[in-house]
């Protein structure tokens, strides 16, 4: 059963565009980029995927389930076929949507992820979240210090901490379904597509030149599923081109 996802209008009144965030992300990560995309003639919306942000939780973290949520959202919004933009895990979800409901898309943009399985590269981050004693946390700064023993990268810690929120009792809690996401990491890191599936619509894959998520040799995999895809590399960007190279990112999305 699809979940009723939370979403936000980021601006604009033109052609509809829906943005899907990555693992441990949310609509909040896309506010600035969304405003710039809206200025290019789009009505920009962004959704919180299940188990993230303001959306409901579920033990099912499969791409089939996440895609069904997006399809239900698009049908509920009745905004017409959209330009679907997905980053990382959101990019894999967007690929699944393209296969399951091609009539709902005018264009697909996938950001720094390929249609393939990935090694377990986020286990340390999830282990650090599990090890954090939330009852001992007094401030985000104290949480940052505790996370630093396992997560040495400052930027990654700040990203993780965007999910640390206070509940109605003013207690620190994780705003994501950490347990379900942890158990589902093999699924999330897996390939969302099946052999032989294709989508013939206009497709762009945006690659961060400093990122290892989308490699030049992955273009063969991409073309197998998306025969009309083009790959755009942003040389100065890492895994988050909407932050690292925003002007180039906006130009690539709107090409």
* Catalytic hit among 88, 125, 211, 225: 88
Residue 234: phi and psi, rounded to 5, are -105, 100
**To which residue do tokens 């791409």 refer?**
63
Catalytic (active site) residue 62 = no
| Active-site residue (options: 21, 52, 225, 239) | 239
239 included as an active-site residue? yes
Backbone angles phi, psi at 56, to 5 degrees: -65, 165
Distance CA 19, CA 91 (A): 9
Which class for 114: exposed (0-12), middle (13-18), buried (19 or more C-beta within 10 A)? buried
CB atoms within 10 A of CB 236: 11
**The pair of three-digit structure tokens given for residue 7, joined into one six-digit string:** 């979403």
Which residue is associated with the tokens 């996401």? 181
Q: Are strands 15-20 and 42-47 parallel, antiparallel or unpaired?
A: parallel
Query: Annotated catalytic residue: which of 58, 179, 184, 197?
Result: 179
Which residues participate in catalysis according to the annotation?
A: 88, 179, 239
């Amino acid at each position: 059963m699809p979940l009723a996802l939370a979403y936000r209008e980021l601006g604009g009144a033109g052609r509809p565009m829906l943005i899907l965030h990555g693992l441990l992300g949310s609509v909040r990560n896309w506010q600035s980029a969304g405003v710039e995309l809206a200025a290019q003639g789009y009505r920009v919306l962004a959704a919180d995927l299940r188990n993230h942000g303001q959306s409901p939780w579920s033990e099912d973290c499969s791409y089939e389930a996440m895609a069904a949520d997006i399809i239900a959202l698009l049908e509920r919004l009745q905004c017409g076929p959209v330009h679907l933009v997905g980053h990382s895990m959101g990019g894999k979800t967007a690929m699944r949507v393209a296969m399951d409901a091609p009539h709902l898309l005018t264009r697909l943009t996938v950001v720094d992820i390929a249609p393939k399985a990935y090694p377990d590269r986020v286990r340390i981050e999830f282990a650090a979240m599990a090890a954090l004693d939330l009852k001992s946390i007094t401030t985000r700064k104290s949480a940052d210090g505790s996370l630093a023993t396992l997560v040495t990268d400052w930027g990654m810690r700040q990203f993780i901490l965007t999910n640390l929120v206070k509940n109605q009792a003013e207690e620190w809690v994780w705003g994501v379904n950490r347990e379900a996401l942890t158990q589902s990491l093999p699924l999330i890191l897996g390939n969302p597509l099946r052999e032989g599936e294709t989508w013939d619509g206009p497709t762009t894959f945006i690659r961060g030149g400093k990122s290892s998520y989308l490699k030049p040799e992955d273009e063969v995999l991409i073309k197998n599923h998306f025969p009309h895809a083009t790959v755009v590399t942003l040389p100065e960007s890492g895994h988050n081109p909407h932050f690292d190279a925003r002007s180039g990112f906006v130009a690539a999305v709107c090409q």
